[in-house]
Amino acid sequence: MVWETSPFLALASLVCRLIWALVPLGMLWVAKLIVDLVVVAATAKTGVPDGLWPLVAAEFALAIAGDLLMRAAGLAESLLGDRFTHHIGVRLMRHASTLDLASFEDPVFYDKLERARRQSAARLGMLSQIAGLLQTLLSLLSVSVVIISFSWWFLPILVLALLPVFWGETKFAMLAYSLLYRWTPERRELDYLRLLGASISTAKEVKLFGLGNFLIDRTETLFGRYFQENRKLAIQKAVTNAVLNVLPLAGYYGAYAVILYRTARGELSLGDLTFLSGAFLRSRNALENVFSTLSNVSEQALFVRDLFEFFDSKPSIEDAAHRLPAPRPIRQGFEFQNVSFAYSNSGKPVLENVSFRLEPEERLALIGENGTGKTTLVKLITRLYDPTSGRILLDGVDLREYSPADLRKEIGVIFQDYVKYDMLVKENIGVGSIESFTDLARVEDAAQKSLASDVVTGLAKGYEQMLGRRFEGGAELSMGQWQKIALARAYMRDAQLLVLDEPTSSLDARAEFEVFQRFAELTKGKMAILISHRFSTVRMADRILVLGGGRIEEQGTHAELVANGRRYAELFELQAAGYR
């Protein structure tokens, strides 16, 4: 994935590090030659020896080369880091856009997504560590050749001394990952509590209900529980690694003592002492670095696994190439045949054996108490979900045979929990038909249809006005005004089916009347589904379905249902009594 981001920058970093790995050995060797040359000259009292300054210049050049290589590698990795973070973020967004709505309503999926989001960008350090590991191994290999030629048993002793340190680092890396994995839901809750405590969308209720201290106390309690467990693990890690680190220190100083002893006996020159002690110190540091990096990489790999697990998640509703295009025009309409549906996190079905037809050019209203499955029916007809059992037909063909993306282009929907985009007015409306996003004439036409044009007229910059308080210069709208903007999105599409789910819940009586007068005009010749608790609204429908207990309890026109004297008549009378 890093290579996909930028092959040039990845290769540049790797090449710089590999060349940089040979610089320390060169500097050590030149330092040895300088020391031996100076010692000989000082002993013979011959003054400054020939060849000294070229050696000094060579060491200086190596130092500059090492610094330049280090900075070049750092620059390449910094630029690569920015591009990689963006690349992963976009890839996460792209994959998330292919997944089902059911995925986003599953807490287990959210935990997986949270770990992928938190860790993916931060794991770019894994690239630097692996490149650094290759650099260190090459440097260690070159230095080890010299050490082994001096005494073959020094390096194996140092490796054996470092193995317990590697074991300790790896063990605690696994435990740290396990802790973060287990605490993912709580960490998401912490983020949510912090958002509730400091967000424009919650500020009014937090102030009015005095929730500030409650949210703070809950955040402190939750963090305290996590911190206690994390602190215990951190202390164990610090103590264990401090004890284990004594072994490589003892190995290094034992070898250093042997080098000093042999130099004192005249078996080695001072230049040899300088070179070997420096080489041994570097080899010790390099080995520590190798084991530490391997431990870190193993930890990083655990988090990267979360990222790839997220990328491996597949939607159950796929838009395969062989799918049928949605019919245009729709000739027979939709038909529900014994459709049942239950959400994955609930065993209780929302809908049970529901059967009905939606004819071309028919306006159908769904009414019922909360939780009776009205919105779920809309999610099924738009193929955000597939039925648990039964089937839905469109022009006599199972809905699953059609391309989901193509089907949704024929449906204009506005849900009651519509999104308030912190974007320009024209963009807020334009997202209703992304193919016509920049078509201002179409945006203005949609605003006229939804009566949002009256809202736009009152804004300082009209369709160029930023909405929301997230960005500078943004204007906040009332709920009713936002609802008209959201309604305009549904009108952006030349859809064959219009679905309005509680579309006027935030509008006053006059605005509601105007919206539905307009809706009645605009849905002539189209299919329409209308969900509302207001009987004044649903009366305009050609047919009304009354849902209760996951089933269709009765259906008919307003007059027929009132005359039946059953559930619809009861609800109508209760609502009418409130206006008397």
Residue 204 has pLDDT above 70, yes or no: no
At a CB cut-off of 8 Å and minimum separation 6, what does 336 contact? 354, 355, 356, 357, 377, 380, 390, 392
Q: Tell me if domain 2-312 and domain 334-577 are identical in fold.
A: no
Tokens linked to 195: 């958002």
Amino acid at 134: L
Q: Would you say the pTM of this structure is higher than 0.75?
A: no
Tokens linked to 351: 């809908």
Per the CB < 8 A criterion, the answer to whether 498 and 526 are in contact is yes
348-379: burial string, b at 16+ Cβ within 10 Å, e else: ebbbbebebebebebbbbbbbeeebbbbbbbb
Kindly state the helix (H) or strand (E) to which residue 391 belongs, with its residue range: strand 389-394
Helices (H), 265-349: 270-312
CA distance 93 to 71: 33
Kindly state the helix (H) or strand (E) to which residue 121 belongs, with its residue range: none
Give the confidence band of 65 by pLDDT, cuts at 50, 70, 90. Answer: very high
Q: What is the pLDDT of residue 362?
A: 92
Tokens linked to 486: 């959201």
CA distance 564 to 369: 19
Per the CB < 8 A criterion, the answer to whether 73 and 20 are in contact is yes
Over range 253-270, report the average pLDDT: 79
Please, what is the Cα angle at 208 between 205 and 213, to 5 degrees? 85
Q: What is the pLDDT of residue 354?
A: 93
Residue 580 has pLDDT above 60, yes or no: no
Q: What is the pLDDT of residue 119?
A: 59
Percent of the chain clearing pLDDT 70 (strictly above) = 89
φ/ψ (deg, to 5) at 549: 60, 30
Q: Which residue has the tokens 């030629």?
A: 149
CA distance 426 to 401: 35
Q: What is the pLDDT of residue 211?
A: 79
Over range 268-293, report the average pLDDT: 75
CA distance 147 to 162: 17
CA distance 107 to 197: 22
pLDDT 10s digits, 88-110: 888 888 888 878 777 777 777 77
Give the confidence band of 503 by pLDDT, cuts at 50, 70, 90. Answer: low
Residue 229 has pLDDT above 80, yes or no: yes
275-310: burial string, b at 16+ Cβ within 10 Å, e else: bbbbbbebbbbbbbbbbbbbbbbebbebbbebbeeb
pLDDT 10s digits, 373-395: 888 999 999 998 899 999 999 99
Give the confidence band of 155 by pLDDT, cuts at 50, 70, 90. Answer: low
Residue 64 has pLDDT above 90, yes or no: yes
Integer CA distances (angstroms), 499 to 125, 306, 518, in order: 48, 38, 14
For 498, the 3-state DSSP assignment is strand
φ/ψ (deg, to 5) at 345: -90, 10
CATH entry 3.40.50.970 includes domain 334-577: no
Q: What is the pLDDT of residue 152?
A: 67
End-to-end CA distance of the chain: 68
Closest CA to 81 of 1, 164, 176, 172: 1
Q: What is the pLDDT of residue 372?
A: 83
Over range 175-197, report the average pLDDT: 81
> What is the residue extent of each domain of the chain?
2-312, 334-577
CA distance 88 to 307: 10
In CATH terms, the fold of domain 2-312 is ABC transporter transmembrane region fold (1.20.1560)
Integer CA distances (angstroms), 165 to 39, 160, 400, in order: 40, 10, 57
Q: Hey, which residues does 364 pair with through a beta bridge?
A: 529, 543
527-531: strand order across its sheet? 411-414, 497-501, 527-531, 363-367, 543-548, 551-556
Residue 495 has pLDDT above 60, yes or no: yes
CA distance 553 to 564: 12
pLDDT 10s digits, 343-379: 877 768 899 999 999 999 899 999 888 888 888 999 9
Per the CB < 8 A criterion, the answer to whether 134 and 17 are in contact is yes
CA distance 145 to 155: 10
Q: What is the pLDDT of residue 120?
A: 58
Q: What is the pLDDT of residue 118?
A: 65
Closest CA to 120 of 314, 305, 315: 305
